[in-house]
Amino acid sequence: MKEAILYDKRENGAVACRLCAHHCIIKDGETGLCDVRKNRAGVLWSETYEKIVTTHIDPIEKKPLFHYKPGSLSFSVATVGCNFRCTWCQNHDISQWAHEEQSPLPGQAIGPEELARMAANNRCATLAFTYTEPTVFAEIALDTARAAAPLGVDSIFVTNGYMSSELIDTFGPLMKGANVDLKAFNDDTYRQYTGARLQPVCDSIRHLHENGTWVEITTLIIPELNDSEAELTAMASFIADIDPAIPWHISAFHPTYQMTDRKRTPLDTLHAAYTIGKRAGLRFVYTGNAPGDRYESTYCPKCGTVVIERTGFQILFNRIVMQKCPTCNETIEGVY
């Protein structure tokens, strides 16, 4: 355990957590909505500190981050816990562990310095806090990011975007990149299927971008839930209003966890969403969970040249030179 960051003490031994947009008021002996931050006698503790449930070396494209050091490796780290209750969660066995299991929190004792060395020794360009929601294990993420920076390893978040503005500012330039799940563009959908709200996610996306974090956005397209033309148009317009160069990943859904009543997302739906994104002015739109689809690759938004060709998470070639298209010299935004 480690004492939590970003909380205030209240009357009668309660504490107010300022880590995420739920702003939990936690009584003595209880945990917040994430189930991994506990009030013990008026002190809030991170119960998952140095309890690492998984480490893995992934291509950065798997995060997915297509414009952040493409073709490089990312050292992925997670603890249990999440502040959402997504009924389609693909990692529910670890994200919902603390919520659903009655056993002690699992995890291997690995400290920040060791995690940073593991990333560097495996020649990873980035250290990704991912698989579950990194906001709820912010203490180990922050300490690891601080240890990794002098080793030349950048830290990135793969997140639902429900962190507080204070948390974003606390990480500051240490949070080099982030892929934010924008799960829908309807507050009722967020409330019913995730237990959260839409606006804080939108606020985080804007705040991250303003703070200089490289931002990419992923939307899982779920049939008859968030796939209407009106909703996708509103979502794409929101992203474009922040910055048309923010890449938008639109991924296919497959039935899982508590949502097995929906069909897989048809490829035609992904292609329709791609067209909507481009029509809204987005420079880079990608399809996901559709191996071999032509929209996995990066096209120059000016002349249409394929500047990075991908299949799945593998890069076949990268023609970008000094952030420019080799054909027309158009800037291809990103971190290379």
Closest CA relative to residue 235, chosen from 202, 203, 257, 212: 202
Identify the band that residue 232 occupies on the pLDDT scale cut at 50, 70 and 90: very high
pLDDT-above-90 percentage for the chain: 98
Confidence (pLDDT) at 226: 98
* DSSP bridge pairs for 40: 43
Q: Chain-wide mean pLDDT for the chain?
A: 97
Mean local confidence (pLDDT), 274-303: 97
Mind listing the pLDDT tens digit for each residue in 69-95? 999 999 999 999 999 999 999 999 999
The burial class, CB within 10 Å (0-12 / 13-18 / 19+), for 305 is middle
Confidence (pLDDT) at 103: 82
Confidence (pLDDT) at 102: 76
Give the sign of the dihedral formed by CA 211, CA 125, CA 59, CA 19. negative
Distance from C-alpha of 3 to C-alpha of 6, rounded to nearest angstrom: 10
pTM: 0.97
> CB under 8 Å to 257, separation ≥6 — which residues?
86, 87, 88, 89, 90, 92
Mean local confidence (pLDDT), 31-35: 96
- In DSSP notation, 187-223 reads HHHHHHHHSS-HHHHHHHHHHHHHTT-EEEEEEEE-T
Distance from C-alpha of 206 to C-alpha of 211, rounded to nearest angstrom: 9
Instruction: Indicate the length of the chain as a whole number.
Output: 336
Q: Is the pLDDT of residue 183 over 80?
A: yes
Mind listing the pLDDT tens digit for each residue in 270-279? 999 999 999 9
Mind listing the pLDDT tens digit for each residue in 98-130? 999 878 999 999 999 999 999 999 999 999 999
Mind listing the pLDDT tens digit for each residue in 205-218? 999 999 999 999 99
- In DSSP notation, 264-278 reads PPPHHHHHHHHHHHH
> CB under 8 Å to 101, separation ≥6 — which residues?
none
Confidence (pLDDT) at 187: 98
